Amino acid sequence: MCGICGYAGLHESESLLRRMTDIMEHRGPDDHGFFRDNDIGLGMRRLSIIDVSGGQQPIMNEDENMAVICNGEIYNYRELTEDLKEKGHIFSTKSDTETIIHLYEEYSTECVKYLRGIFAFAVYDMRRKRLFIARDRLGVKPLYYWHKNHKLVFASEIKSILECEDVPRDPCITSIDNFLSLRYVPGPDTLFAGINKLPPGHLMLWEQGNIKIERYWAPELYSGKYKSDTYYHERFEALLSESVKIRLMSEVPLGAYLSGGLDSSAIVSLMSKMSSRPVKTFSVGFGRHDDELPAARAIARKLGCDHSEIICSPEDFEILPQIIWNLDEPIGDAIIVPMYMLSKLAKEQVSVVLSGEGADEIMAGYFFHKVMLLVRRYNRLVPRPIREGIVRPLIGRIPAFILNKMFDYPGTLGRRGRRKLLDYLKLADSNKIADEYLFLISLFDERDKASLYSPDINAKLRGGTSDNSVSPDADALYIESMLMEQYNHWLPDDILMKQDKMSMANSIEARIPFLDHVLVEFLLKTPSHLKLSGITNKVLLRDYLKKLVPGSLCRQKKKAFYIPIEQYFKKGFLREMLETCLSESSVKRRGFFNWEAVKRFRGSIDENEFLFGKQVFALITMEIWFRIYIDREKGLF
């Protein structure tokens, strides 16, 4: 696990590689290495986990005409190594990274299909003067690049690319718009104009100054014949157990994040069965009666874990500028602060953690999954005249506190939430799954943004619309189509990006058993009723947990990781950031937004509606990002 970087088509001294690697020291504090050949440069920072004493990178092949650097872990490297040795390849280390270069010798770019793990790597083939770069199937590990005038610069983090003086620091206007919609920037774009993300499941070839990007893996919608439910239960149990087991591979201390929910509890339960020592577990909460700490504490006690926990308070948000620097791009979600704190706590005892991320995406675990399915059934059963003439007007008049009781979230729905519900019911009539999905995960809607943007920005963002209407024949196909949407950018550009950047900011590796590609491919071909059945989600996992941890855990509802951000704006650091970042002078200096609209958003947080608090937080994180990366303002952290 480390940070990698490099360039092609540039005649640079070693000082550029040193700057590019030094700025990522947090990703790899244990070692560093460089390779240069004419206009090619490779660099890395290493967090030593496998072959601690002998796995220094870059690693050369037997003939020393190829070099490889890798950020990640190859979990099947031992089997691959034995097979490659039988084919005559000679290994100089016991590192999983060396497997890649010998696979490339044997299979060229097809080598990536043999790898089971999380990775972003680069192989330089001196014979062909070719640079080969690839990213893992689900996008657990990041990889960014800039390409212009036959020059290529790439790295695990954008800040490393920016060390190259050829790369400009210009914001991308369309990415600002996407950020406000989603709270993150969907790939392949970034918030920097000209800097892109290599999409998950893709490879890149650089030859003679030109790049070619190809997709080698994609999730596929399945509607074939199914086997008995018993088969899927047994196969799921075997694959999840195997996924956890191979992720226990480590020469350094290892632990797990534990929220007390289904996903992390399943991971920790399996780890406990496979380990002769108590599993070190780590949890974060907010000192509220309804947060996750009591549940995490209970499951840790039940499994005999060595448990540690930390409380995140409003004062802890003072680290927000540091976090945004680590992220490279803002994430307009307050969860980034407790995530950073949790990884910092874990680093005090371990260098590797297993996390329950990904289970919600592959097994329909979110509340909005239920909403989409239930609204689809409602539209099918209730005639349009009744929906439009009776139901929607009724919802418009129902007191907000009644709607709140229907809303599976600790925050207050309020008038802004009511408007979102009514807009969604209208949108759902179109049968455009992608639009429905994006609307439910969005923060600022089109009306919000139209009033927020300055006239100049509104003019630049005018564009066409897309037609993505679908009419799946059955609920099963609808559920699968809904889940497929998450692989496009929600998983790699939000969920996994936060996990990688917040863990690596504290020099700790996060492993994600639920996103093992073998398990994901199995679940893509599993009947939908074993994921979402009525209002019961993650059916396979719940049934498995009945065996792992007998009791009420498998029947519990998903508890939202709720941060009362609207309350945190009342005083302290976030209030200071509100007054500073969203002041009239600051807004007008930036020039993107209408000050009167920003003032309304600022005032809206006094209504204690959770959507308003999230919107204001997103605006603040974007302004902090501008000050750090575009203005290069000093003293923010």
Closest CA to 526 of 197, 224, 198, 173: 224
From CA 417, how far away is CA 423, in angstroms rounded? 10
From CA 334, how far away is CA 577, in angstroms rounded? 14
- Write the CB contacts of 327 (distance below 8 Å, at least 6 apart in sequence): 336, 497, 498, 501
Q: How many CB atoms lie within 10 A of CB 424?
A: 16
From CA 375, how far away is CA 391, in angstroms rounded? 12
| Look-up of token digits 């990884």 | 343
| Look-up of token digits 């097979």 | 83
Strand partners, 469: none
From CA 131, how far away is CA 204, in angstroms rounded? 8
Q: How many CB atoms lie within 10 A of CB 246?
A: 18
From CA 229, how far away is CA 473, in angstroms rounded? 22
Taking the CA atoms of 40, 45, 49 and 54 in sequence, report the sign of the dihedral they define: positive
Per-position DSSP letters for 244-285, written without gaps between them? HHHTT--SS-EEEE--SSHHHHHHHHHHHHH-SSPPEEEEEE
Secondary structure (3-state) at 378: helix
Strand partners, 537: 532
Cis peptide before 294 (omega within 30 of 0): no
Which strands, in side-by-side order, build the sheet including 280-285?
306-311, 280-285, 254-257, 352-354, 509-511
Per-position DSSP letters for 330-356, written without gaps between them? ----TTHHHHHHHHHHHHTT-SEEE--
| Look-up of token digits 């979600």 | 333
From CA 40, how far away is CA 363, in angstroms rounded? 43
Amino acid at 493: D
Note whether 12 and 41 are within 8 A (CB). yes
Note whether 282 and 342 are within 8 A (CB). yes
Note whether 557 and 295 are within 8 A (CB). no
* 15: enclosing H helix or E strand: helix 14-22
Secondary structure (3-state) at 608: coil
Note whether 98 and 59 are within 8 A (CB). yes
R_g of the chain computed on alpha carbons: 25
Q: Note if 5 is an active site residue.
A: no
Q: Which of 2, 70, 111, 581 is catalytic?
A: 2
Amino acid at 40: I
Residue 350 has φ and ψ, to the nearest 5°, of -135, 170
From CA 232, how far away is CA 193, in angstroms rounded? 45
Residues marked active site are found at 2
